[in-house]
Amino acid sequence: MATPARIAFLGECMIELFERAGDEPGAMRRTVGGDTLNAAVYCRRALGRDPAVEVHYVTRVGDDPYGAEIPAFIEAQGVRATHVRVAPGETTGLYAISRDEGGERSFAYWRSAAAARRLLDDGEEDKLAAALEKFDALYFTGISLAILSPEGRDRLLALAARMKAADKIVGFDGNYRPRLWESREDAARVIRAGHATATLTMPGLDDERALYGDEDGHTAARRLLGFGASAAIVKSGSEPAVVAEPGRLREVAGQPVTRIVDTTAAGDSFNGAAMAVVLKGGGLVSAAFAGHRMASAVIGEYGAIVSPEHTLWPDGPSA
């Protein structure tokens, strides 16, 4: 039997608190979420039961009661937690979601002392990088870069660059969150470096517009290729995604949506499904189509990681 391909999703996952319509006022439900973990879970679900790809998650959590439960939670989603480290005496980040009547969400975070911030600064970084470099694919985001120290960012970018140079798959999403950065200029510089390491970068247009002033998805896509990304998919909510590779730009329309209750993880789930297609050797248009399909299901339920009922594709991303 052939050795399964392996992809590592690297970043920060946190304890998630959210309210659900019909619950007692003030009651909060608890689960786990985070942009890269969300993407990893939806990548695994898009791959279905295919044993030819292993999806791994890479992070660092505290040994508080909730953080200590996270590795088991990740494994229960079908994602490998071999590289999830529980740090003694440290804490796990937390966020709470609030939503307006249209399902659009806002977040409050408690993450300044989270263990994930030392993921590539805890004395095990060389060992971790050496292990990940043997993987077939890597995925990280602007949030992954934002939470790390400058030295940790450099290590992550160097790892991604080495993997790209070795003809491996590197997925990236700029995922700009202003509160995590000292300045917009600092974020633009570091996130640009992230785009440059990617074989496929999949940012949202709103983030790219905030950082670089793009007028539309076509402008953003051309700029991303100019940064050095091998290919790009620029997301814009329910609007068509712009798919770009050298010499060619196309649009891929979104899926009809009948129910929107919570837009949390819409972009993350898009990216996870798109990465599943790429891992199986599919093209960019198919990747964007799968991304729209997954996101349209996720926004019809509450929370970042929704039930597998409508998001598990048993026959894989091309079915």
Give the number of other CB atoms < 10 A from CB of residue 4. Answer: 13
Backbone phi, then psi, for 46, in 5-degree steps? -65, -35
pLDDT given at position 60 = 97
Under DSSP, the state recorded for 59 is E
With beta carbons less than 8 A apart as the criterion, state whether 195 and 222 touch.
Answer: no
pLDDT given at position 312 = 96
Range of the domain at 203: 5-310
Distance separating alpha carbons of residues 317 and 319, to the nearest angstrom: 6
Q: Is 306 helix (H, G, I), strand (E, B) or coil?
A: coil
pLDDT surpasses 90 at 232? yes
Residue 317 in domain: no
**Percentage with pLDDT > 90 across the chain:** 79
With beta carbons less than 8 A apart as the criterion, state whether 291 and 235 touch.
Answer: yes
**Percentage with pLDDT > 70 across the chain:** 95
| Higher-confidence position of 22 and 227 | 227
The CATH number that applies at residue 35 is 3.40.1190.20
Backbone phi, then psi, for 157, in 5-degree steps? -65, -40
Distance separating alpha carbons of residues 151 and 312, to the nearest angstrom: 38
pLDDT given at position 319 = 64
Residue 319 in domain: no
Residue 39 in domain: yes
Start-to-end Cα distance in the chain: 23
Q: What is the pTM of this model?
A: 0.94
Residue 278 in domain: yes
Q: pLDDT tens, 158-208?
A: 999 999 999 999 999 999 999 999 999 999 999 999 999 999 999 999 999
Is the alpha carbon torsion for 137, 139, 144, 150 positive or negative? positive
Phi-psi category of 283—alpha, beta or left, where left has phi over 0 and alpha has psi -120 to 50? beta
Residue 165 in domain: yes
Residue 316 in domain: no
Annotated active-site positions, please? 268
Residue 158 in domain: yes
Residue 315 in domain: no
Nearest partner of 251 among 259, 241, 266, 261, judged by Cα:
241
Distance separating alpha carbons of residues 118 and 185, to the nearest angstrom: 23
Backbone phi, then psi, for 191, in 5-degree steps? -65, -35
Count of domains forming the chain:
1
| Residues forming beta bridges with residue 38, ordered by sequence position | none
Q: pLDDT tens, 90-142?
A: 999 998 877 666 656 677 888 888 999 999 998 999 999 999 999 999 999 99
pLDDT given at position 2 = 67
